[in-house]
Structure 1
Amino acid sequence: MTSQTTVKTLLILGASGDLTGRLLLPGLARLVAKGRAGGLSLVGAGSDSLTADQWRTRVSETFAAAEGAADGDGRAALKAMAESTEYHAVDVTAEGALAGLLGSLPGPVAVYFALPPHVSQLACEALHPDQVPAGTRLVMEKPFGSGAESARDLNGTLVRLVPEDHIHRVDHFLGKATVLNILGLRFANNFLEPVWNRDHIERVEIIFDEDLALEGRAGYYDGAGALRDMIQSHLLQIMALVALEAPATIQERDLRDAVSAVLRASSIKAPYASSTRRARYTAGNISGKDVPDYVREEGVDPARNTETLAEVQVAIDNWRWKGVPFILRSGKALGTKRKEAVITFRPVPHLPGGFSGLDSPNQLRIGFGPDTLQLDLDVNGPGDIFTLNRITLKSELNASELLPYGEVLEGVLNGDPLLSVRGDTAEDCWRIVEPVLRSWNRGDVPLEEYDAGGPGPEGWLAVPPNGSAKE
């Protein structure tokens, strides 16, 4: 079914940058190809002196790759948008510059800040409320601010310009299909929800391991690191979805209230040498490609001691989860790409005598991108009926026809903030990780090392890939 957009113009600031070329334009192209961005105009802007032809060429080349997913109408829409798009060379931090551009575009306008966080902050501070046309939506990339205080300041700046429900703090890992798949699994199965608590679950691990190294992104990543880049921005949100109480509806207010309640109850406990770990990769080989030491990657400052792998144990101090460790891990240049949540149940209190074979806790694995479900069970046989064997029930979950950034953009264009991070939640995520960052800066937690292409430092994870828990 085709959905009609209420936004008339998508304005991308930082249009010549990596984020725009690698993620935004492909996501928009799929959205247009599927007929789900009717009547939308695309405008690019940035400090780079691109010509109009150079910008149109960039858009056309990206859109051409989406033609295979389009019917005749979709291909016509892609061509029309690519031919009509504009580019404006402008310093958006200069007084009046962004306001003038906004006032010249057909509204409502969605302004996508595909810029470094400090530049986005300056651009917003250069705007005055009376310079922002009614209906304007502001779309902010992660990380949102550089800490709890700067996130509060940025929230204050944004809500002076537009209402909270017109602010979209992007988390592209929270695709609509992923969110609904987790909620459907949890709350549509009566056998599952009664055991979804501290009495029956031993621990929860949320793992986002990448088999990519820096890939030319040192300018951003070396100033962020794995804890800021992934755990603060994304994994805490996924943790909240796994842990939240049943909302009355899946409308944005009920759902985001439930997410906020989990994060308010969450913290990482000191001493951080026990509850957190950090490491960075050294030279190695990933899929036949040699990878240098992280500190020798172009653009890296070794003195920053930036971690490329982080693991933290989060405590959720409420009735349901008190005492259950939530272990969040993310890293780069690892040998196996893993994006999953692993829920490990407590072992049975007593196995009747006479049974033999495998006896380890049941696990439920929720995979992300593509979304999958695996449930490990111990059953009798085959062969000796008294011997228990591990079987795995597997299923693919619903997948979106859009790319992750296409889902994000569709929410922005249609005024649906469901996939956006609310202001109070963004601040809470920083509150949770800031004490750890301060501890790491003091050197309280050693910076370990691991070979690129390897599994990471020995003994970090309780749950290995596609295996049972270590005892």
Structure 2
Amino acid sequence: MSAPAGSEWVNPLRDKRDKRMPRIAGPCAVVIFGVTGDLARKKLMPAIYDLANRGLLPPQFALVGFARREWAHEDFGKEVYEAVQQHARTPFHQEVWDRLSEGIRFVQGDFSDDAAFQRLADTLHSLDTERGTGGNHAFYLSIPPKAFPLVCEKLAQFGLARETDGCWNRVVIEKPFGHDLASAESLNAVVNTVFPESSVFRIDHYLGKETVQNLLALRFANTMFEPIWNAHYVDHVQITMAEDIGLGGRAGYYDGIGAARDVIQNHLLQLLALTAMEEPVNFSPAELQAEKIKVLSATRLAQPLDQTTARGQYAAGWQGSQQVVGLLDEEGFAKTSTTETYAAITLDVDTRRWAGVPFYLRSGKRLGRRVTEIALVFKRAPHLPFDATMTEELGHNALVIRVQPDEGITLRFGSKVPGNRMEVRDVNMDFSYGSAFAEESPEAYERLILDVLLGEPSLFPVNAEVELAWQILDPALEHWAALDAEGGGPEPYAAGSWGPDSAFEMLHRVGREWRRP
């Protein structure tokens, strides 16, 4: 049974009152530009197989690869098969693969090759007829950002961006969304000339993670947190994304971008928006985006920047039991590179809820361990009638949302130590997704790709969010560029540590300290 073009396929036997039943994508084709890259091989193609394996893709589905390789359809099919075997999260089922492989096609060509885009158009038209994909196409640009405008223009030139007769064409763009505010505005203008904003899906895979979405449930489905989620009780907020890996082999992508552009501008500012925004009227895309835009509009870098920002570059050191080289000795990086591998900034959110509460954002490579978390650190209690000796081992209460790798929530509070004396010490109350639910959390790219096919934009930043994020970060980037011009540069920090001394001093000078997860 086929579905009307542009709609999601609905099982006629499904009871619409049963909320456990997932939504299934309608007939469509996904075109991946850059299928030879790591992202496509390790994430995108396995995620598409996993969606098929979970029954979330329709029988009328096709996957098209576009790249310079001189492959036949069968060669690309083998590449997808190997990617699925190596990286899929769900068990391999031959019948699922056989059904999926029937719709796999490949188009060889360069981004500037008119003949290649004509072949792509012909291939999609054939799939619409042969596979019943219904004229619905999603174009996933897993390519360098500088190629986005050219590919979008070619899609328009060959009629692949037009929506007609109830069919849809959507474009998926990977970060970074520009290099600064001016380039982001220029990129958005080019993309929106070809695709309406409602058809543009900017992927931020962090927003597809289960714990990030659970942040909304934690805040707005529980009455116990709302009364203390504000400046009356919160001393400060720390948002951390730490990685223990280096950048060997990634100079082509990372050099000249750095930690602030790579992570803070998108992932961490989106986490800030979800943490600090007001309650939406409902969870429709428009309402969620409106609240995020409001809070990002009220966010600015704290001053002065030489005291409220820090950056560093990892040097040689020990990562666990392995001795590793510094960035300047990694393949592809110049000995004079000023690309930061660690960045930390202090933000003020000028709303009634958060006035006076600093938000500290940090991201880095070659740090002590891999972890992403949001930590609300609460103000100290007066500790009366306790004397100092009773509470000397008591720190700040904290609510920590662990985004990865051990997804869950930790609440840190004071409890009496067993014994005859009154002594209060920190203890943790812990919730872990892995032990609390039998259901396995879907991988972020599975959720986001399915949302693209369903036309569900809640988890995707819109133009205004992207541009506001650059507007917030640009002064720090300009400040650091000025320091580089004067002969400065990122401060070295030992691999396996928790960052440069300047980052710790950034908090110490105001009587605070970074969490060490």
Say how many residue pairs are matched. 464
Q: Which moved more, 1:138-147 or 1:19-28?
A: 19-28
Deviation at 1:193, TM superposition (A): 0.7
Structure 1 Cα separation of the partners of residues 262 and 418 of structure 2: 46
Distance 1:360-1:66 versus aligned 2 partners, 3 A rule: closer
The residue that corresponds to 2:412 in the other structure is: 376
Are the counterparts in 2 of residues 279 and 309 from structure 1 also a CA contact under 8 Å?
A: yes
The residue that corresponds to 2:38 in the other structure is: 18
State the secondary structure of the residue aligned to 1:419.
coil
The question of 1:395 aligning with 2:431 is answered yes
Residue number among 107, 110, 125 corresponding to 2:138 in the alignment: 110
Tell me which of the two structures has the higher relative contact order, counting C-alpha pairs closer than 8 angstroms and 6 or more residues apart: 1
Are the counterparts in 2 of residues 142 and 171 from structure 1 also a CA contact under 8 Å?
A: yes
The residue that corresponds to 1:220 in the other structure is: 253
The residue that corresponds to 1:60 in the other structure is: 81
Structure 2 Cα separation of the partners of residues 279 and 7 of structure 1: 48
Deviation at 1:70, TM superposition (A): 4.0
The residue that corresponds to 1:252 in the other structure is: 285
Report matched runs for 1:179-194 at 5 Å: 179-194=212-227
Deviation at 1:284, TM superposition (A): 1.9
Are the counterparts in 2 of residues 2 and 35 from structure 1 also a CA contact under 8 Å?
A: no
The question of 1:300 aligning with 2:333 is answered yes
Q: Which moved more, 1:131-140 or 1:283-292?
A: 283-292
Letter in 2 for 1:366: I
Deviation at 1:294, TM superposition (A): 0.3
Letter in 2 for 1:463: W
* CA offset digits 1:377-409 (Å, max 9, x no partner): 112231135211221100014675321111111
The question of 1:146 aligning with 2:185 is answered no
State the secondary structure of the residue aligned to 1:449.
strand
Structure 2 Cα separation of the partners of residues 67 and 299 of structure 1: 31
Are the counterparts in 1 of residues 46 and 88 from structure 2 also a CA contact under 8 Å?
A: no
The question of 1:121 aligning with 2:121 is answered no
Residue number among 374, 385, 398 corresponding to 1:363 in the alignment: 398
Are the counterparts in 2 of residues 33 and 67 from structure 1 also a CA contact under 8 Å?
A: no
The residue that corresponds to 1:28 in the other structure is: 48
Structure 2 Cα separation of the partners of residues 302 and 237 of structure 1: 33
Letter in 2 for 1:382: P
Deviation at 1:164, TM superposition (A): 1.6
Residue number among 228, 238, 243 corresponding to 1:205 in the alignment: 238
Residue number among 400, 413, 433 corresponding to 2:473 in the alignment: 433
Letter in 1 for 2:143: L
Structure 2 unpaired stretches of 5+: 1-20, 129-134, 505-512
State the secondary structure of the residue aligned to 2:302.
coil
Deviation at 1:150, TM superposition (A): 1.9
Residue number among 168, 177, 180 corresponding to 2:210 in the alignment: 177
The residue that corresponds to 2:497 in the other structure is: 454
Structure 1 Cα separation of the partners of residues 70 and 140 of structure 2: 19
Structure 1 Cα separation of the partners of residues 57 and 176 of structure 2: 27
State the secondary structure of the residue aligned to 1:43.
strand
Structure 2 Cα separation of the partners of residues 99 and 245 of structure 1: 48
Structure 1 Cα separation of the partners of residues 251 and 92 of structure 2: 39
Report matched runs for 1:314-353 at 5 Å: 314-353=347-386
The question of 1:419 aligning with 2:459 is answered yes
Structure 1 Cα separation of the partners of residues 196 and 29 of structure 2: 19
* CA offset digits 1:262-304 (Å, max 9, x no partner): 1111111342111110001111232333321201111113434
The residue that corresponds to 1:264 in the other structure is: 297
Structure 2 Cα separation of the partners of residues 381 and 226 of structure 1: 42
Larger radius of gyration: 2
The residue that corresponds to 2:262 in the other structure is: 229
Residue number among 24, 34, 40 corresponding to 1:4 in the alignment: 24
The residue that corresponds to 1:91 in the other structure is: 110
Are the counterparts in 2 of residues 284 and 452 from structure 1 also a CA contact under 8 Å?
A: yes
Distance 1:65-1:447 versus aligned 2 partners, 3 A rule: closer
Structure 1 Cα separation of the partners of residues 289 and 117 of structure 2: 31
* CA offset digits 1:226-272 (Å, max 9, x no partner): 00000012100001111110111112111111111111111113421
Distance 1:389-1:174 versus aligned 2 partners, 3 A rule: same
Distance 1:84-1:215 versus aligned 2 partners, 3 A rule: farther
Deviation at 1:71, TM superposition (A): 7.7
Residue number among 161, 164, 182 corresponding to 1:132 in the alignment: 161
Letter in 2 for 1:33: N
Deviation at 1:38, TM superposition (A): 2.1
Are the counterparts in 2 of residues 27 and 402 from structure 1 also a CA contact under 8 Å?
A: no
Instruction: Give the root-mean-square deviation of aligned CA atoms.
Output: 2.2
Are the counterparts in 2 of residues 9 and 43 from structure 1 also a CA contact under 8 Å?
A: yes
Deviation at 1:191, TM superposition (A): 2.2
State the secondary structure of the residue aligned to 1:384.
coil
Structure 1 unpaired stretches of 5+: 467-471
The residue that corresponds to 1:48 in the other structure is: 69
Deviation at 1:210, TM superposition (A): 0.2
State the secondary structure of the residue aligned to 1:344.
strand
Deviation at 1:349, TM superposition (A): 3.0
Q: Which moved more, 1:316-325 or 1:109-118?
A: 316-325
Q: Which moved more, 1:3-12 or 1:415-424?
A: 3-12
Deviation at 1:362, TM superposition (A): 0.4
Structure 2 Cα separation of the partners of residues 333 and 259 of structure 1: 31
Distance 1:304-1:320 versus aligned 2 partners, 3 A rule: same
Deviation at 1:176, TM superposition (A): 5.3
Structure 2 Cα separation of the partners of residues 12 and 333 of structure 1: 31
Q: TM-score, normalised by structure 2?
A: 0.84
Structure 1 Cα separation of the partners of residues 431 and 492 of structure 2: 36
